[in-house]
């Protein structure tokens, strides 16, 4: 009975009952309804030539017969959503290792590549990421960010779920992947479809579409990632708003990279390994040799480029070629003091900045000194760096000259109504 108690804790009794009847209407005795929902979802994505990532509970996958496998050929990734749909924040580390190992074996036996993990209920404890890493995943998407885009539509039910998920504010923390313990953490954005439909109160039903559009606009302006959560069984309710988000995303310039979560994780890991060779050919002139990975973008601001380039946005130009020549009165990279917290260099490197340790505050166009550096300082620092009118060369966070990223995702907790009922007995 514990899954029912957890659901009531997170949703409240009234919403839990409402959700049960909603679930009963969306699932059938067989997987036919889910298959139809996935097909409809796939058709929307195909219109925009993009994919999606659907974490699925391994026990539900085990009971299915070929419903899931066929969608891998349609640019859809399936991640692990636990072996059973239970609260991982109260699971022993050894049990998580066992469950994750069994889940990956099951996926592999069914011919499904499982690169990532998301905890049921977005709940986990400090050892979960270690278990995710030790069992061979490359990313985790269990942490969540809540966005202040609701304009008065919040309800006690929504506030309860934010607390239940231990969600952090996107006003305080950047919506970006981060490498921890050898894996990429990809934050999940709230409100998701469940919040929009079941937990929020919009006086004007037309306002229902606004939160996701606002998040897209904010992440675009900040160069961040919007992980849009839309469960496959709710595609019928949210198809139009998904069209609106994808329409807007595909018409922005510089563009938005629309990618699966496994693609985002692979890109973040690959780009984080880059170390350019920087030579000073003569005073004020620099040669930057870059080992080009596919899609890498080199952005330059307020420097005199001597090699081919093109305009990117109002501040940056894209430098082309494997060797970039430029003039700048100071080194156009981020200098950090030797006493700075190693977390500062790691964060800057992961977000695309070229970092050099310097003992003098006058060698670089930007010099930082942070003896301690916390996650609460990350977003203010990013905004500060991008607001400065100083020479800077950095890597684009996203591939192929994209300014921001969008990932469509949605959990598959069950394929049939039986899957939901069996969760009561942890099956």
Mean pLDDT is lowest, of 107-111, 178-182, 291-295, 368-372, for 291-295
What does the block give as tokens for 339?
């006493």
Share of the chain above pLDDT 70, in %: 93
- pLDDT of 251 above 60: yes
The pTM score is 0.93
| CA pseudo-torsion sign 255, 256, 257, 258 | negative
Q: How far apart are CA 347 and CA 331, in angstroms?
A: 20
Q: Where residue 78 falls among pLDDT bands split at 50, 70, 90?
A: very high
Q: How far apart are CA 7 and CA 16, in angstroms?
A: 6
Say how many Å lie between the first and final Cα of the chain, rounded.
12
**Where are the domains positioned within the chain?**
2-252+405-425, 275-400
List pLDDT tens digits, range 309-341: 999 999 999 999 999 999 999 999 999 999 999
Q: Which residue has the higher pLDDT, 420 or 103?
A: 103
Q: Where residue 1 falls among pLDDT bands split at 50, 70, 90?
A: very low
Share of the chain above pLDDT 90, in %: 82
| Structure confidence at residue 174 (pLDDT) | 98
315: CB partners within 8 A, 6+ apart = 301, 386
What does the block give as tokens for 120?
């049921």
Q: How far apart are CA 250 and CA 95, in angstroms?
A: 43
- pLDDT of 407 above 60: yes
Chain Cα centroid distance, residue 291: 26
| Structure confidence at residue 64 (pLDDT) | 87
Q: How far apart are CA 407 and CA 155, in angstroms?
A: 26
| Structure confidence at residue 207 (pLDDT) | 83
> The domain 2-252+405-425 belongs to what CATH superfamily?
Glycoside hydrolase/deacetylase (3.20.20.370)
Contact 265, 138 (CB under 8 A): yes
Residues 344, 346, 350, 351: what is their CA dihedral angle, to the nearest 10 degrees?
A: 10
């Amino acid at each position: 009975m514990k899954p029912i108690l957890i659901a009531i804790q997170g949703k409240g009794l009234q919403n839990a009952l409402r959700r049960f009847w909603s679930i009963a209407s969306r699932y059938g005795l067989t997987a036919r309804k889910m298959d139809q929902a996935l097909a409809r979802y796939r058709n929307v994505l195909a219109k925009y030539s993009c994919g999606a990532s659907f974490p699925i509970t391994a026990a539900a996958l085990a009971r299915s017969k070929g419903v899931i496998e066929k969608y891998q050929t349609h640019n859809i990734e399936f991640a692990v959503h636990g072996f059973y749909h239970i609260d991982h924040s109260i699971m022993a580390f050894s049990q998580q290792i066992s469950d994750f190992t069994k889940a990956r074996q099951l996926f592999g036996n069914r011919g499904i590549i499982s690169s990532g993990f998301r905890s049921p209920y977005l709940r986990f404890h400090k050892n979960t990421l270690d278990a995710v890493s030790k069992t061979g995943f490359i990313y985790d998407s269990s942490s969540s960010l809540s966005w202040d885009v609701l304009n008065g539509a919040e309800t006690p039910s929504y506030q309860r779920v934010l607390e239940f998920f231990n969600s952090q504010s996107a006003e305080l923390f950047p919506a970006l992947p981060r490498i921890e313990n050898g894996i990429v953490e990809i934050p999940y954005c709230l409100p998701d479809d469940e919040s929009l439909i079941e937990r929020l109160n919009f006086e004007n039903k037309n306002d229902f579409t606004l939160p996701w559009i606002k998040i897209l606009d904010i992440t675009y302006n900040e160069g961040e990632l919007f992980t849009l959560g839309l469960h496959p069984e709710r595609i019928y309710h949210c198809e139009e708003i998904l069209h609106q988000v994808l329409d807007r995303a595909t018409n922005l310039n510089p563009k938005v990279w629309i990618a699966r979560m496994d693609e985002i994780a692979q890109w973040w890991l690959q780009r984080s390994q880059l170390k350019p060779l920087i030579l000073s050919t003569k005073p004020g002139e620099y040669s930057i040799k870059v080992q080009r990975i596919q899609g890498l973008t080199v952005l330059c601001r307020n420097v005199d480029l001597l090699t081919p380039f093109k305009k990117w946005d109002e501040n940056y130009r894209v430098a082309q070629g494997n060797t970039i020549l430029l003039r700048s009165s100071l080194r156009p990279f981020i200098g950090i003091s030797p006493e700075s917290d190693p977390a500062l260099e790691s964060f800057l490197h992961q977000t695309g900045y070229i970092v050099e340790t310097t003992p003098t505050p006058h060698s670089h166009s930007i010099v930082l000194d942070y003896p301690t550096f916390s996650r609460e300082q990350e977003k203010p620092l990013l905004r500060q760096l991008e607001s400065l009118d100083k020479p800077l060369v950095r890597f684009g966070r996203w591939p192929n000259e994209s300014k921001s990223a969008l990932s469509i995702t949605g959990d598959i907790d069950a394929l049939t109504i039986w899957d939901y009922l069996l969760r009561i007995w942890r099956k």
